[in-house]
Amino acid sequence: MKLKSNILFMLLMLAANNDHALAQNLVQNPGFESGVAPWVAWGGATLTQTGTEPHGGSFAVAASNRSASWQGPVQSLLGVLEPGRSYRVSAWVRVAGSTEEPVGMTMAREDDRGLQYLGLNQSTAYSDRWVQIIEIYQHTQDGVLTRLDFYFQGPAPGVDLLVDEVEIEAFPMDWQAAANQRIDDLRKRDIAVTVRGQDGQPVAGATVTLEQTKRSFPIGTTIRYSAFANEVNYRDYILQRFNWGVHENAAKWYSNERNRDQVSYANADEVLDWADAHGIEMRGHTIFWAPETWQPNWVPALNDADLALEVEDRLEDVVAHFQGRFRHWDVNNEMLHGSFFADRLGPDIRDWMFQRTRALDPDVKLFVNDFSVVAGNETDGYVSQIQDFLDRGIPVDAIGVQGHFSDVSPLSVQLRLDMLAELGLPIWITELDVVQADEFDRADALEAFMRMAFSHPSVEGIVLWGFWAGSHWKGPDAALVDEDWTINAAGQRFDTLLAEWTSHESLTTEASGIAQARVFHGDYRVIVATPGGAVIELNASVAPGQEPITVMADLGVLFGDSFEAASQ
């Protein structure tokens, strides 16, 4: 006889630590708290410890009297870095005497190959705020290394350069092992099932089965309407693997209003109704799309007054229509790569889009969303854009990262996610695909990205941008499933990852009556079978948190006086 009982454990959320610290900081006096040494200035520049608005601590350093762009703080790292090792290099910079200037980090390395100047990264520094520069440095040497100088350069002569909180930290030699450890720390929790008999005493030797019935971490996919409507295999693949979804095109303006004032959400609603019926959460993509290329074909020809009216109508109508059904909205997609609305209606229109959406649907999470910010080198610009919104009080709740890859460098992914994490907002991978002609190379790259993203404390969801070769926007070279519905090597690897990140445990209680395991966050069916023949089925929810979850299977409480009959 089975007794079913629902037990819901609502516990405190894990305080995910966004600290990127990898190892010991190898820079001496990184925050200039003990003066300037061992930093020196190249050329005729002067280094001065300054306590005026440092980024962290009490001091920063200012390089003044600069007569050339290459003059700035320098520190020798000779004998400090290990050949063949990758390092995370970062610093906070600012300028004085100019509104904005380029600032870069450079490594001067001299060995048997001669003297090389290796530019690590360059960003725009401002006079009114600190900006972080961050990059990976792969340290190699050929023969005897006689010089290794790390320095800052870039601003025009006469412009003071300020630097603070310099860090050089070694990445682990085995990035995958380090990622797996973070996954264990971030995505799992201890659970202890205690079994007691009718007499209140521990029951040893009971079998405890933990079956994960729902994944907590969102892993989703885009849904193309044509494939959804016509292919049962397409729908089944989604149901078997994903707990989140997003319309590929059906919620975009050009799909909803192909002709002016003729609005239809029929296709989007059909997908959304199906998703709701099957417990799939949905993102909204997108209210607006910033580049002119992606506007409804009748929009660019409007005069400014009519355009303003149509923009307002679009936002009011689409947000109201999907209110309470979308968990997220990409408000104005790809603002790094287009400015149609800002150019026509003024830059304040972007602020209004976020503010008005928040007013119409206070519960939906508002996203920025863009590409080449992790699968590319435009991270600095994205950080600056988002920080500008936040500084001005514009409601941005989360960061959307489009991950359109060919090759994947896991350390670069980690570094760029770290940069975005400095903003203090949740990060979602909103559009993931990997283009590789060889399906095994595609599998390796997909796994590298997903494992690194899943291990990052600021990443709260991963959404694939397609899976079937018959409907993938990047074609068969990005697919997990071939056109004949054969799951290829990339799809098999994806399934392996899902299985790895799902918990199914078969345990036996010890003399204490307790069986313990560490499991992934999510919903579980807990089945307890005692040596006496009683079978108990409970439901438990394992939420993020630090303390172990306790599930109590007390036969006396659950069965009461009917225990003997229930055991027969």
Question: Which residue type does 153 have?
Answer: Q
Which residue ranges does the chain devote to CATH 2.60.40?
2-15+179-213+520-567
Q: What is the pLDDT of residue 360?
A: 97
Contact 534/527 with Cβ under 8 angstroms? Answer: no
Q: Using an 8 Å Cβ cutoff, are 139 and 81 in contact?
A: yes
The pLDDT of residue 387 is 95
Q: Using CA atoms in the order 152, 158, 159, 160, what is the torsion angle rounded to 10 degrees? A: 70
Q: List pLDDT tens digits, range 431-477.
A: 999 999 999 999 999 999 999 999 999 999 999 999 999 999 999 99
Q: Tell me the CB-side half-sphere exposure of residue 545, using CA atoms within 13 A.
A: 14
The pLDDT of residue 17: 36
Could you tell me whether strands 459-464 and 219-223 are parallel, antiparallel, or unpaired per DSSP bridges? parallel
> Could you give the residue range(s) of every CATH 2.60.120.260 domain in the chain?
40-171
Residue with tokens 């089965």: 209
Cβ pair 212, 466 in contact under 8 A: no
**Angstrom distance (rounded) from CA 512 to CA 514:** 5
CA-to-CA distance for 235 and 240, rounded, in angstroms? 9
Question: Which burial class, exposed, middle or buried, applies to 363 when counting CB atoms under 10 A from its CB (0-12, 13-18, 19+)?
Answer: exposed
The catalytic site residues sit at 334, 431
- Angle of helix 348-360 relative to helix 304-321, nearest 10 degrees, comes to 30
Fold of 2-15+179-213+520-567: Immunoglobulin-like (2.60.40)
CATH topology of domain 218-500: TIM Barrel (3.20.20)
Fold designation for 40-171 = Jelly Rolls (2.60.120)
- CB–CB of 293/249 below 8 Å? no
Q: Low-confidence residues of the chain, pLDDT below 50?
A: 1-21, 561-568
Q: How far apart are CA 413 and CA 337, in angstroms?
A: 21
Rama region for 463: left / alpha / beta (φ>0; ψ in -120 to 50; rest):
beta
**pLDDT tens by residue, 278-317:** 999 999 999 999 999 999 999 999 999 999 999 999 999 9
Residues 519, 513: Cα–Cα separation, whole Å: 19
pLDDT for the residue 266: 98
Q: Tell me the residue type at 542.
A: V
Instruction: Say what the pLDDT of residue 565 is.
Output: 33
pLDDT of residue 23: 67
- Listed as own residue / partner, the contacts of 109-114 with beta carbons closer than 8 Å and 24 or more positions apart are 109/141, 109/145, 109/147, 109/148, 110/145, 110/146, 110/147, 110/148, 111/141, 111/142, 111/143, 111/144, 111/145, 111/146, 112/142, 112/143, 112/144, 113/142, 113/143
Looking at the chain, which residues constitute the CATH 3.20.20.80 domain(s)?
218-500
Please calculate the CA angle 114-116-117 and round it to the nearest 5 degrees: 160
